Chains A and B, each alone.
Chain A
Amino acid sequence: MALRQVSPKLLASLKGLNLIAKTVVDGFMLGLHQSKRSGAGLEFSEYRPYQLGDDVRQIDWKLVARSDKFFVRTSEVETSVAVRILLDASASMQHEEDGITKFDYARWLAASLSYLAHQQGDAIGLYAVQTHITHVPAHHDKNQLKKIFSTLETLTPQGKWAERTQLDGLLSRSKRREITIFISDMNEHTDEILSALKAYARLKNDVLLFHLIGANELEFNYKGEIEFEDLESGELVRINAEVAKTQYQASISNRLKSLEKSMQAERIDYQRFLIQEPLDAALRKFLTIRNRFPK
């Protein structure tokens, strides 16, 4: 299966989230050969020949009169699934590697996921979490994508992860089945993100965590004496990179392992992405989760 993968570096040269989302999703879908779901709905999608078992009411009689053949009208299915994207827009998302910040990557990912979900006919909502939460409530209409894209465009990462009370008020009630996607770097001060995740996992059906991490952050390929500055707290730590490397690698792998473990315990789908990797893996993961739901 040949995938047309688009590297983040190429995406960075593109302007407009719409184009980026299209490029990513279309390239991805081209590889998957996944057709849109079609069935009974308001909006016309296509004709197909009548088969035994089809509802007789769906036969387009006018077409029968013209062509003497039986065709069935199909339309895109509107599902009752809502996809909510919780985007971490705190200052730590400014972490930059190879000219791409984590927030850039998160933005593209959010846009692509929205685009994909919109094509699936799902309602999409966006919650950008900073000190205050910027949100676009979940709907399925023509303008929803535009709203989401424009919100994403205007966001700049700053501040810290919001207080629990703000989040609870926004997301606690919903009749629909929901998929909640967290996109975060998981850099927290105490365990604010983790506790939010757990709260959602208990409340909702499906929670995904897309953990964004930089290759340097993982492998610590720095050299010499470096002063590291914390993007959120502004704290400075001066170390010798080579000396600290092994110890740092050990502690980050421990942290990732414990994160994975706690995610497993909470039945949260955990996925880690290097911001140097194409976005396809994230989309594929989303689709697998999405496919658990009825068409």
Chain B
Amino acid sequence: MSVLYPVYLWSLLLLVIPIAVHLLSKNNPRRIKIGSVKLLKQTDSRIFRRIAFHDAWLLALRALIFALLSFLIASPEIACKYKASEKSWILIEPTVSLEGQSTDFHKKLDSLVKAGYEVHFLKPDFPTTSRTTQENARMDMWSLLAEADKVNRDTLAFFVASSLRESSLQGKRPTLSRQVQWLETSTDETAWIERIAQLSDDSLFIVIAISSANETRFEHLIAGMPNKSSVVPPIELIKQGDSIGVSLISNPNEKKWFSLTKRESWCIVYDEQFANVLPYFERAVKAIAQFSPTKISVEVKKETEWQEKSEAKIIWLCHRKPLKHLNYLDATGFSEESLLDEHFVHTLSEMLLPESTSENDRRKVSSEMAMPITRYEHHTSNEQRTSLMFPIWILVTLLVGLERWIAFSKE
């Protein structure tokens, strides 16, 4: 059982009233002079005790009534739909490697597990087993937390072990019915090859990204075309046929291949229905292609002239859906307002030029900034918390009746 407004529990101080009344009124009963108290003294001594008992009952009743009233003001609730046996969760972000964490983190985790917390992984369905394959799919922390909030209703707080990556905390923060306590994990610096492009026949443009908790920086590098292999710190280049492999010396696993012969080509396919918006797209796509480090040729074709065999990347602007082609971007969803938006080209470029930045970005936000909104729910349609106001009101009414009855019968 919990109360919605614990502040009002201060009104329990009202209990002083019945106790004070009781103590003050006790000492002045009516005094009557009679000839002899001899017979009265003969009445059973139990009577005296029963009187005291009577008074104690009244006091207890009055105190109880006041306590219940102050409780009523504080709006008590009881959670009744969900089993109380459910255990609280520690949610561990799958990208966090437990081995690399500090001893402090492990101590904290162990003490929580000892206290009865269950370890779950912050993935859809919240599995308890240790993570399977490392999923590089972009994780939406907020929606996962909102999901966990719905499933595990029993507790007041979650512990979430997370590296608090800025990239995973995008969008509107959710409103949860319980608190989230972050177990911050340490993050190591990571580097990857962000982009390779051919500048001229004998030089390559390479972008290396280095990300740590504080920053993600990009380093540009121009390397000469290797004959077989060459080392341009911090990278290593290997030529195999008409492809060039670029890898980091510090991390040979991070390797990207770049084809020298392959030209990327984009094709905008349209029909009459979208003819009016075509100029917007055409200019935007051409601008993106022009500023892209790789050479991209852009074609514009009517749906009737277009052949599905084409390998080019398709920007689709037709009423009909393409049947077999997989490598296409459905641009029909853009509204006319969004075409005029200043961010239109940027949005489109994000769709056309895939970036690995967001997955690898290690930048961190502070745990204070990463707090979801906590709102203690009550009174919604499928409510799991039941207000105790009504039964307590009934109880108070009954108790007041009882108190009055005892008081009158005493007089």
Task: Give the interface of A toward B (CB within 8 A).
Answer: 92-96, 102, 185, 187, 217, 222-233, 235-240, 242-244, 247-248, 251-252, 255
CB <8 Å contact, B35 and A185: yes
List the A residue with the shortest CB-CB distance to B42: A251
B55 to chain A, nearest CB (A): 8
Q: Which of B9-17, B25-33, B86-94, B163-171 contacts A (4 or more CB under 8 A)?
A: B25-33
Q: How far is the CA of A95 from the CA of B34 in the complex (A)?
A: 5
Q: List chain A residues, Cβ under 8 A from B37.
A: 228-230, 233, 235-237
CB <8 Å contact, A247 and B44: yes
A29 to chain B, nearest CB (A): 32
The number of inter-chain residue pairs (CB within 8 angstroms) is 96
CB <8 Å contact, A228 and B32: yes
Count chain B CB atoms within 10 A of each CB in A95, A231, A237 and give the residue with the most: A237
Answer whether residue B41 sits at the interface, using C-beta atoms and an 8 A cutoff: yes
Instruction: Give 14 A-B pairs besides A102-B35, A227-B30, A229-B32 with Cβ atoms closer than 8 angstroms.
Output: A187-B38, A226-B30, A227-B31, A228-B32, A228-B40, A229-B31, A230-B34, A230-B38, A232-B36, A238-B29, A239-B40, A243-B47, A251-B39, A252-B39
Cβ contact of A231, chosen from B34, B40, B44, cutoff 8 A: B34
Cβ contact of B410, chosen from A224, A239, A248, A252, cutoff 8 A: A224
Answer whether residue B373 sits at the interface, using C-beta atoms and an 8 A cutoff: no
Interface residue count on the B side (C-beta < 8 Å): 24
Count chain A CB atoms within 10 A of each CB in B30, B34, B38, B410 and give the residue with the most: B34
Answer whether residue B411 sits at the interface, using C-beta atoms and an 8 A cutoff: yes
Q: How far is the CA of A96 from the CA of B35 in the complex (A)?
A: 9
CB <8 Å contact, A247 and B47: yes
Count chain A CB atoms within 10 A of each CB in B32, B40, B42 and give the residue with the most: B40
Binary flags per residue of B169-181, CB closer than 8 Å to A gives 1, else 0: 0000000000000
Q: How far is the CA of A67 from the CA of B30 in the complex (A)?
A: 76
Answer whether residue B50 sits at the interface, using C-beta atoms and an 8 A cutoff: yes
A100 to chain B, nearest CB (A): 14
Given contacts A224-B411, A238-B48, A240-B410, contact A248 B30 (CB under 8 A): no
CB <8 Å contact, A225 and B35: no
Cβ contact of B43, chosen from A229, A230, A248, cutoff 8 A: A248
Q: What are 19 sample pairs from A and B whose C-beta atoms fall under 8 A apart?
A: A95-B35, A187-B36, A217-B34, A223-B411, A227-B31, A228-B32, A228-B33, A230-B37, A231-B33, A231-B35, A232-B35, A236-B31, A236-B37, A239-B51, A240-B47, A243-B51, A248-B43, A251-B39, A255-B39
CB <8 Å contact, B35 and A93: yes
Q: List chain A residues, Cβ under 8 A from B36.
A: 92, 187, 230-232
CB <8 Å contact, A239 and B35: no
CB <8 Å contact, A225 and B30: yes
A55 to chain B, nearest CB (A): 54
List the B residue with the shortest CB-CB distance to A94: B33
Interface of chain B residues 141 through 177 with chain A (CB within 8 A): none
CB <8 Å contact, A229 and B54: no
CB <8 Å contact, B411 and A217: no
A67 to chain B, nearest CB (A): 62
Q: How far is the CA of A247 from the CA of B409 in the complex (A)?
A: 18
Q: How far is the CA of A240 from the CA of B411 in the complex (A)?
A: 9
CB <8 Å contact, A229 and B33: yes
Count chain B CB atoms within 10 A of each CB in A102, A224, A231, A240 and give the residue with the most: A240
Binary flags per residue of B376-411, CB closer than 8 Å to A gives 1, else 0: 000000000000000000000000000000000111
CB <8 Å contact, B30 and A92: no
A223 to chain B, nearest CB (A): 6
CB <8 Å contact, A239 and B47: yes
Q: List chain A residues, Cβ under 8 A from B43.
A: 239, 244, 247-248, 251
A159 to chain B, nearest CB (A): 14
CB <8 Å contact, B41 and A237: yes
Q: How far is the CA of A279 from the CA of B253 in the complex (A)?
A: 127
Q: List chain B residues, Cβ under 8 A from A96.
A: 33
Given contacts A95-B33, A222-B32, contact A243 B40 (CB under 8 A): no
Q: How far is the CA of A187 from the CA of B40 in the complex (A)?
A: 13
Given contacts A224-B411, A248-B39, contact A240 B54 (CB under 8 A): yes
Q: How far is the CA of A177 from the CA of B56 in the complex (A)?
A: 63
Q: How far is the CA of A187 from the CA of B410 in the complex (A)?
A: 29
Q: List chain B residues, Cβ under 8 A from A223.
A: 411
List the A residue with the shortest CB-CB distance to B39: A251
List the B residue with the shortest CB-CB distance to A243: B47
Cβ contact of A225, chosen from B34, B38, B39, B51, cutoff 8 A: B51
CB <8 Å contact, B47 and A244: yes
List the B residue with the shortest CB-CB distance to A245: B43
Given contacts A232-B36, A252-B39, contact A225 B410 (CB under 8 A): yes
Q: List chain A residues, Cβ under 8 A from B410.
A: 224-225, 240, 242
Q: How far is the CA of A229 from the CA of B41 in the complex (A)?
A: 11
Q: List chain A residues, Cβ under 8 A from B48.
A: 238-239
Q: List chain A residues, Cβ under 8 A from B50.
A: 240, 243
B209 to chain A, nearest CB (A): 89
Q: How far is the CA of A92 from the CA of B33 in the complex (A)?
A: 9
Q: How far is the CA of A129 from the CA of B325 in the complex (A)?
A: 133
CB <8 Å contact, B29 and A92: no
Count chain B CB atoms within 10 A of each CB in A93, A94, A225, A231 and give the residue with the most: A225
Interface of chain B residues 87 through 128 with chain A (CB within 8 A): none
Q: List chain B residues, Cβ under 8 A from A251.
A: 39, 42-43
B133 to chain A, nearest CB (A): 82
Q: How far is the CA of A281 from the CA of B50 in the complex (A)?
A: 42
CB <8 Å contact, A225 and B40: no
Given contacts A224-B410, A251-B39, contact A229 B47 (CB under 8 A): no
